[in-house]
Chains A and B, each alone.
Chain A
Amino acid sequence: NAGVTQTPKFQVLKTGQSMTLQCAQDMNHEYMSWYRQDPGMGLRLIHYSVGAGITDQGEVPNGYNVSRSTTEDFPLRLLSAAPSQTSVYFCASSPSVGQGPETNYGYTFGSGTRLTVV
């Protein structure tokens, strides 16, 4: 089925370890983003990309890196894991985000990666 695929679904890391969360979409969407979800705080944007080779920071980028070498893939790298990065991570994509309500399509979300840093 077409959609956004995130792997792994669960991960436990030790403080200081690094890892990459994978995100792939098969809908040819231009826009992809990473959010983290923490209790009572909604979703916060980490990084986003408006096309292959173009990335930018969101609200909470520190400790994370991204790259977008293809339209389909948008991996999120944790450089040196910290307990504060314990969270649920969601990848989302959109055909585009447009320039106004008429062309802002909303997001398709992956099912999430639950990360625990001990």
Chain B
Amino acid sequence: AQSVTQLDSHVSVSEGTPVLLRCNYSSSYSPSLFWYVQHPNKGLQLLLKYTSAATLVKGINGFEAEFKKSETSFHLTKPSAHMSDAAEYFCVVSDRHTNAGKSTFGDGTTLTVKP
């Protein structure tokens, strides 16, 4: 079985300060992990993915995530927030032994960026 928990439903930061969005996962086998971003009234866009090649994954728009197996975490970070980062973010886990077609989405974290 697989599951994903986004630890914060809302995060608020000031422009220019660091962003941390937290995600913990549960997976019986080697997981695939993803972060997606959704701007208001838009579809989801892939930010980055964990492919097992490196534990620190770099994505678009300056975002990074670190895979920590011992902590079962895949937190999303960005050194300096921009107003355009305000959106909803989803952490996703896919377990190859739970049928490769079934990914599990977290409930989402809404990021607010204050000027």
Instruction: Please encode chain A, from 21 to 45, with 1 for each CB lying within 8 Å of some chain B CB and 0 for all others.
Output: 0000000000101010000111111
Chain A to chain B contacts (Cβ below 8 Å), 26 pairs: A4-B43, A41-B107, A50-B100, A56-B101, A59-B102, A90-B43, A96-B100, A97-B100, A100-B52, A101-B30, A101-B49, A101-B50, A101-B52, A104-B49, A104-B94, A106-B34, A106-B36, A106-B49, A107-B36, A107-B44, A107-B103, A108-B46, A109-B45, A111-B42, A111-B43, A112-B43
Report the minimum CB–CB distance from A106 to chain B (whole Å): 5
Q: Does B90 contact A (CB under 8 A)?
A: yes
**Residue in B44, B100, B107 whose CB lies within 8 Å of A40:** B107
Q: Does A16 contact B (CB under 8 A)?
A: no
Report the minimum CB–CB distance from A56 to chain B (whole Å): 7
Contacts of B103 in A (CB 8 A): 45, 97, 107
A104 lies within 8 A of B100 (CB): yes
